[in-house]
Structure 1
Amino acid sequence: MGIARRELLTWGAGLAAGAVTGLALPGSARAAAVATTPRGLPTDSWMSRLDAGVSLLDLTIPGTHDSCCENPAYGTEWSHTQNWGLPQQLTEGIRFLDIRCNGLQGAPDELGIYHADAYQHLRLQDVLDQCRDFLRTHPGETVLMRLRNERAGGQALDDTEFMRRVDHYLDALGYRGLFHFHGWPTLATARGKVVLIADFANPWDLIDWSSGENGYFDTQDLWQTGGLDPLGTKGGRIVAQFDKAFANPSYPKMFVNFLSYAGGYWPRTSSQSLMDRTVYPYLSARTQQRARFGIVPMDFPDLHVNVLRMLIDKNVVQNLA
């Protein structure tokens, strides 16, 4: 069954309070035009309905992989992972962004958004401005951002230069106040902020990314493997990570479970297969389970809206199983 993966400048009828975990009832009705999840959460402001004292570690946070890779003309179809731009991703409930940068040619202090060495015709300031605009109009939300030194092609930067340019954005360009920097916060602390996750060398005691496991993360990111059924292997890894997260609700690290896979498939093809064979059946069979699955990045959420909304609802459903 099918379920409805980067240009330069240019809530909620049907939810009884006793059936909801960590949910604050809204003070007013939502506009009819706002998209909602099956349990009535508005996708643009679902975090604002949660208890302010909850830690980000206790949430399920849908995200995107290679978040800015919208146009196959900026690379190839191999690097095409998203159809929605960042503003629509945020409006639809995505709260983790995977932002990958190299140096920007002709701009010695700036960072451009890249997929490997393919420039996506966006600058880091464009991404940050879009996040800031969204958070100004949705102050109850937060955005988690993996900021990665892509280290690719002629615009690759060494550790020192990448960090210098990040510092330029924080101070010279005035973005420091947009960010939360140190340790996993509660929603009360994170609201209105971008939680910075550093996938670049730094001495600043930031939340440091890991594609495996470190003091902050436990990550499943199998993007390539061998064997006769690599997508079956990837699906098994996805299920194992979901099960591990469900079985360890007090785990002191952030789980990450990438639903994306490359390994010789078009991103759209692998995404559709994994959703149909593994992800949708797993989540659909467990709609009455609350779970803190952590960060769940995916390709093409516009093609898998049911999965996206089931993930959001994991934050409010009572655990009946």
Structure 2
Amino acid sequence: MKIDRRAFGMMGASALGTLWTQRGWSEVAQAASPSRFHFAVVADPHIIDEFYVKGSENGVEDNESILHTSERLISARDLINSLHPKIEQVFVAGDCFHNYPSADYDFYFKNKTRIDNAKEIFDGFQMPVHLGFGNHDYDVPRVSREMSHRLFAEKLKAKPYSSVDYKGFRFVHLNNFLGARWDRNSPQFDKRLGSLGEEQLNWFEALLNDRRPTVVFIHYPLWLVDATEVRDYGLHPLLRKHSDTIQMVIAGHWHKWVDFAHTYGPQHYVTAATRYDPNAYMLFEADSRSQKLRWMNADLVEWSTHYSKPYRVG
């Protein structure tokens, strides 16, 4: 239950893209079969609103990119909607919007905010969209995590962490902001790092024990997430223990394409952000019969940058 090692192995995504460019993509253009489906991944849209204060980012590039986040996510959405065979599921790896204009819960029901703007764009996808949390979807300690969860549940119909089973695969959104690293009352409080908390770790382990082929989404790259949290129990040991089941771990946050290969057991990628590039999406073909994935636009990625070339069918 792994990516085909004859095509992938330990080569990393750059070699994978070259390999599939040589073979061609005629299979992708064929009509969808009962055992085959396609899904997309986007990360870090960072949607803003009329309350956003211009010039409040770090540097020219960040101040420029934040003003174009809606149009770039819409561009990615329109491309994803146009594909044939159809994309059947979309997963967002956090930072759905960019910070909080107010710490008052009622403010978000008296005004149209970036949360509403994000929802409108997500609602324009022609397939289900599954959201994960990013660091900018929180504002600890000014806004409590509990308030963020209430807003996500009410406005975006999303839980702090979740899973969905689809055509033989399991897709899991983990939340690396629920452990001690983002608890301001903990001696481990350090928002530069992430942790899951024992309750979420137990939930994740129970899912993995089902031994279904699994794709994991998490906002912080694994390099920033605590390896263990309760003695020797933590995310990294779980990933290594179930590396035969977990097909891939996809993170965001860094806004650039990074290939960690099998450093943490399963293949681990960091995806670039639609905030900077409307072509920063990942397109996959999944085959539930063979239980394998193909990353369809891997050869278009410009590694260690924000950017990717646009995807063209055929």
TM-score normalised to structure 2 length = 0.40
TM value normalised by structure 1: 0.39
